[in-house]
Amino acid sequence: MLELRFARAWRLLSIASLVMVLTATVLPADWIWPDDPAFRFELGDKWLHGLTFLGLTLWFCGQFRPSSYWRIALGLLAFGVLIELAQRALSYRSAELLDLAADLIGIVAGVLIAQAGAGGWAPRFEDWLQNKFG
């Protein structure tokens, strides 16, 4: 982890974000998305997977050094597998290999964006907070 003033808060927020994603993926889909064709779009579920894992990747890459990005990617891919296994065990959800592929695309995109300069944002954010409110 990078040198962070609020490392404990970052860890707690990280755990909370993973719990929220896991919870959302095991709830009945109609609790989140109404069963109304007006709310559906082509491959919407895959986009949601990809964007969720893009966001998670950028979140974690903001707190760790670039040398840890591959571990972040593997950890998030394992998290994606856990989600699919949990969904497979539920009668009202289904596991799909394409969901895992969308997760992987989001992870790869997140790592590429982090390597392009968006990584390590958490200390910069803390500095901004310190300057703004400190």
Tokens standing for residue 63 = 């707190």
CA distance 134 to 131: 6
Which residues make Cβ contacts (< 8 Å) with residue 119, sequence separation at least 6?
Answer: 58, 61, 62, 64, 66, 69
**Tens-binned pLDDT, residue by residue, of the chain (134 aa):** 999 999 999 999 999 999 999 999 999 877 666 665 555 555 688 999 999 999 999 999 999 999 999 999 999 999 999 999 999 999 989 899 999 999 999 999 999 999 999 999 999 999 999 999 97
Q: What pLDDT was estimated at residue 134? A: 75
Which residues make Cβ contacts (< 8 Å) with residue 95, sequence separation at least 6?
Answer: 84, 85, 87, 88
Q: What pLDDT was estimated at residue 37? A: 57
CA distance 48 to 55: 10
> Strands (DSSP E) along 47-115, which ranges?
none
pTM: 0.91
Other beta carbons within 10 Å of 77: 16
CA distance 113 to 51: 13
Shortest CA distance to 18 belongs to which of 47, 60, 51, 66?
60
Which residues make Cβ contacts (< 8 Å) with residue 100, sequence separation at least 6?
Answer: 77, 80, 81, 84
